Homo-oligomer: A and B are copies of this chain.
Amino acid sequence: MAQTGRQRILVLGGGFAGMFAAGELQRRLGTSADIELINEVNYFVFQPLLPEVAAAAISTRDAVAPLRQLLPGVKVRQAQIFDVDLDRRIVTIFQGVQRRYTEVAYDHLVIALGQSVDLSGFPGLADHALTIKTLSDAHKLRNHVIDRLEHADITALPEVKKELLTFTIVGGGFSGVETAGEMRDLITKSLKYYSNIDASEVRILVIEFADRILAELAPSLGEYARTFFERQGIEVMLETGVKEATGTQIETTKGDVIGTRTIVATIGNAPSALVQKMDLPQAHGRIKTDRKMRVENSANVWALGDAALIPLRDDPTERHHWAPPTAQFAVREARTLAQNIEAVFDGREPEDFVYQSKGAMASLGAGRGVAEVYGIRLSGRKAWLLWRMYYLSFVPGFATKIRIAANWILDAVLGRSIVQTGSGSPIGTRYVHYRKGDRIFETGNRADGFYIVVKGAVELTIPGRDGHEDSVQEIGAKGHFGDRVLLGEGLRTGTVRALEATEILVVGAEDFKRIVAAMPVLDDYFDQYFASVYHQSKPGVQI
Contact = CB atoms under 8 A, between A and B. Distances in A.
Interface in A164-196: 193-194
Interface string A393-437: 000001100110010001001110111110110011101000000
A272 interface: no
Contact of A429 (B61, B77, B515): B515
Contacts of A480: 519
Contacts of A387: none
Nearest to A402: B414
A521 B515 contact: no
Interface stretch (A331-339, A350-358, A444-452): A444-452
B419 A98 contact: no
A17 interface: no
Nearest to A155: B96
A136 B421 contact: yes
A68 B78 CA distance: 39
Given A61-B59, A95-B151, A505 B478 contact: no
Contact of A420 (B42, B100, B410, B431): B42
Please list the 10 inter-chain residue pairs (A to B) with the smallest Cβ-Cβ separation, ordered nearest first: A99-B446, A428-B428, A427-B428, A68-B193, A399-B414, A452-B518, A96-B151, A78-B150, A429-B511, A43-B419
30 contacts: A41-B420, A59-B59, A59-B61, A64-B421, A66-B193, A66-B418, A68-B194, A77-B154, A78-B150, A95-B155, A96-B151, A96-B154, A98-B441, A99-B445, A100-B445, A101-B445, A101-B491, A398-B414, A399-B415, A402-B410, A402-B413, A428-B511, A429-B514, A431-B514, A454-B518, A478-B520, A505-B514, A505-B515, A521-B522, A521-B525
Given A41-B424, A42-B150, A399-B417, 20 more contacts: A41-B420, A42-B418, A42-B420, A43-B419, A43-B421, A59-B60, A61-B421, A77-B154, A96-B160, A101-B446, A102-B156, A398-B414, A428-B428, A453-B518, A505-B515, A507-B511, A507-B515, A511-B511, A515-B515, A521-B522
Interface of A: 40-43, 56, 59-62, 64-66, 68-69, 77-80, 82, 94-102, 135-136, 139, 146-147, 150-151, 154-156, 160, 193-194, 247, 261, 398-399, 402-403, 406, 410, 413-415, 417-421, 423-424, 427-429, 431, 441, 444-446, 448, 452-454, 478, 480, 490-491, 505, 507-508, 510-511, 514-515, 518-522, 525
